[in-house]
Structure 1
Amino acid sequence: MTNTVLQAVEAHAEELAALAPENEKLGRLSDRAVEILRETGVIRMLQSAKYGGAEAHPRDFAEVVMRLASLDGSTGWVAGIVGVHPWEMSMCDPRVQEEIWGEDHDTWIASPYAPMGVLRPVEGGYIFNGHWQFSSGTDHCDWIFLGAFLGDEDGNTIMPPKNYHVILPRSDYEIVDDSWDVVGLRGTGSKDVIVKDAFIPEHRVVEFAKFLDGSQPRESGHTDPSFHIPFTTAFPLGITSAVIGIAEGALNAHLAYQKNRVQITGTKVKDDPYVLYAISAAAAEIKASRTAMLENVTYFYEKAKRGEEATLTERADSRRTQVAAAWRAVRAMDEVVARSGGNGLRMDNPIQRFWRDGHMGLAHAIHVPGSVFHATALTDIDVTPPPGPMLSMI
């Protein structure tokens, strides 16, 4: 099937690449970059058809995110994160879906999911407080998912902690404007958000465990396979795809720069077998990362299509595949950047921006290999479920 959204993105490729410096300067996506994402339908790819979504194959979504990130890391990153939220929202309470999309199917939803808030039970719902970092694309979103722990009547976290996703309209949280000053992905505008004593009705709170165990997708009534792939495969999909796309962008910029470059020794790069070898080796590694990501999500889509549920071992292996793909791509990017010369790191050369963006993306919590690789090794030797918080990572 033709990926029509990818075709639409390609029609704007030159413009999206040209907007990258402006996005970085603004510290958020420019209005024009957002307009293009809306026009092409990127954010609605995984959205329910009931509210104007494409219910696209998640592989198609990953390919679009990679392409966007290869043009501008920040645009790809925002598309990858904000673009997954409609997938989750499509499985939430029908009342909140109607609140968000009833009048405008293009309403965007931000996050983060880190449980940095506490829900205090009251009649009809909860009182909610917290402070979160890293809300990517938040300036362009009118609703938000925020992670929280359940508290008691005094607001103290109940032990053992229970993790929830809480859904709020823009009027119920504050965006901290000067909270995004970082080395890479500057154009994502991943700012802090603060919630103070917001009342949250019960239908806008969903238990995270129900996504992990697959009960939330089943209860939602959706039959499309895309809604039945594991949450821990779907949520990282946009983020890891963005990192791989950034590495592809660095490689493309490097190749364009090297075509006519003459090294200080007087040797043209195209005549230097050592640099050419490194370029090819890096290109192969980046392509391997792309292939691994796409094959991974396709495997779970086809499994869901057959009505089969993913095992814990398969979920763990999926996370290992994603994490390894991100690290492989960034390591390969480092090899080509290291051979770009001093001028390749001038601020007017896009190579340096891709390099900074890639390392910032690799620092995301989902790409930390320790607990993921630990948990996966345990499942490989039949220690299931893995102990403690490692389970939440797979």
Structure 2
Amino acid sequence: MSYEVRKQIDAMADELFTEGIEADRIGRLADGTAKRMKEAGSIRMLQPKEHGGFESHPREFAETVMRTAALNPSAGWIHGIVGVHPWQLAFADPRVQQEVWGEDQDTWMASPYMPAGMCIPVDGGYKFSGRWQFSSGTDHCGWAFLGAMACNADGSVEMPPRMLHVIIPRSDYEIVEDSWDVVGLRGTGSKDVVVQDAFVPDYRVMDCDEVIDGTAARNYGRTETLYLMPWSNMFPLGITSATIGICEGLVLHADEYQSARINPQGTAVKDDPYTLFAIGEAVADLRAARDTLLANVDRMWDLVDSGKTPTFEQRAAGRQTQVQAAWRAVNAIDRIYPRCGGNALRMDKPMQRFWRDAHAGLHHAIHVPGTVFHAASLSRLGVEPEGPLRAMI
């Protein structure tokens, strides 16, 4: 069934591309696109089979995200982010799984995980408040994973700090409609969301550390390789796949545009060896970015499938590879787009939208290289990274 999703995306290619233009204009995913993605089962690729999912291999998921993003960057981005949430819900409390998927297996979940909320313990659960930015695809989601800090009864943050992932229904949070006015990824509708004193029962709260180190999946009793994959390999996968796919989309449009273009010297681009060399080198880099990301997830899958638990050093190396793949892809299109001439800047040409959206993809926190590269290098030298160097790894 996994490859059937990709086939349906291909069959919808023209519509998805056109709706990507609409999404950029209205500042959120077009309603028609959300409907098509639900029909294709895009967001159910990593969902457990007992709740109507496909339990796809992560490589198949990544390849489908890339294809979607190459057609419609906003749809690909939402596929990559919203599409990972069913993977985590698969090892949440069965009661909340039933609440989310019991009546509609195509229910989508938003995020973000940044700990912008406060969870104060009360009888049976928590009193929960906060405001979060960057809730991608939130207009089409019925639930959300929201990050929070665990607090004491007096509202002070627990020491040492402990992060939580809170699962909350749409009825308990407000979407701030005018909060997404940006230069790139406009069509993702990544708006702010606000929660004010909502009650959250204990079973809808997950410990962040247990999610990241795999304890949550093991405690749930999951034995499938898919759900034993490290969070730091799975969560970034969709985001980086979308970024690479957007870059691939720019190349598709650049190739079409350049095929009939005459350069300022009066030479057809097809006969211009300088431009052809530069584009050829850049496309090879983009292809390498794609291949290394997919090989990275295959390598981690094989490790987990053999019954081994990835070490921190292995997880850090995986994150290092994933981050570098994103930067390599965007750097590649930065050598292609300027060689398309001044008319490629026009707003009626699709290349500018793909270029803007790809650069916006690099701004996601999961693509910040500093601490990831630092931690990976220390691990190789036999030093155990501490504190912030362990974040998101």
Question: TM bucket by the smaller chain?
Answer: over 0.9
| Deviation sequence 1:247-300 (CA, Å, 0-9, x none) | 101111111100000122211111111110111111101110110111111111
CA distance in 1, matches of 2:274, 2:156: 60
8 Å CA contact retained: 2:2, 2:56: no
What is the aligned partner in structure 1 of residue 111 from structure 2? Answer: 111
Secondary structure of 2:118's counterpart equals strand
Residues 2 and 45 of structure 1, relative CA distance in 2, 3 Å threshold = closer
CA apart distance, 1:2: 7.1
CA distance in 1, matches of 2:187, 2:313: 37
8 Å CA contact retained: 1:116, 1:148: yes
What is the aligned partner in structure 1 of residue 281 from structure 2? Answer: 281
Name stretches of at least 5 consecutive residues in structure 1 with no aligned partner.
none
| Deviation sequence 1:282-334 (CA, Å, 0-9, x none) | 11011101101111111111222111110111000000000000000000010
Name stretches of at least 5 consecutive residues in structure 2 with no aligned partner.
none
Whichever residue aligns with residue 335 of structure 1, its letter is R
What is the aligned partner in structure 2 of residue 248 from structure 1? Answer: 248
Residues 296 and 261 of structure 1, relative CA distance in 2, 3 Å threshold = same
Whichever residue aligns with residue 389 of structure 1, its letter is P
Secondary structure of 1:309's counterpart equals coil
What is the aligned partner in structure 1 of residue 162 from structure 2? Answer: 162
8 Å CA contact retained: 2:282, 2:335: yes
CA apart distance, 1:152: 1.1
Secondary structure of 2:192's counterpart equals strand
1:330 maps to 2:330: yes
Secondary structure of 1:197's counterpart equals strand
8 Å CA contact retained: 1:118, 1:156: no
| Deviation sequence 1:8-60 (CA, Å, 0-9, x none) | 11111121112111011111111111111001111000001010000010100
CA distance in 1, matches of 2:171, 2:293: 37
What is the aligned partner in structure 2 of residue 232 from structure 1? Answer: 232
CA distance in 2, matches of 1:139, 1:204: 21
CA apart distance, 1:393: 2.3
What is the aligned partner in structure 2 of residue 370 from structure 1? Answer: 370
What is the aligned partner in structure 1 of residue 391 from structure 2? Answer: 392
* Corresponding pairs, count: 393
What is the aligned partner in structure 2 of residue 272 from structure 1? Answer: 272
CA distance in 2, matches of 1:94, 1:344: 51
Secondary structure of 1:393's counterpart equals coil
CA distance in 1, matches of 2:186, 2:310: 36
CA RMSD of aligned residues (A): 1.0
8 Å CA contact retained: 1:371, 1:393: no
What is the aligned partner in structure 2 of residue 219 from structure 1? Answer: 219
What is the aligned partner in structure 1 of residue 49 from structure 2? Answer: 49
CA apart distance, 1:223: 2.1
8 Å CA contact retained: 2:2, 2:45: no
1:101 maps to 2:95: no
Whichever residue aligns with residue 158 of structure 1, its letter is E
Deviates more, 1:219-228 or 1:146-155: 219-228
Structure 1 runs (4+) deviating above 3 angstroms are: none
Counting only pairs closer than 5 Å after superposition, residues 1-394 of structure 1 correspond to structure 2 as 3-384=3-384, 386-394=385-393
Secondary structure of 1:327's counterpart equals helix
Secondary structure of 1:115's counterpart equals coil
TM-score in terms of structure 1 length: 0.98
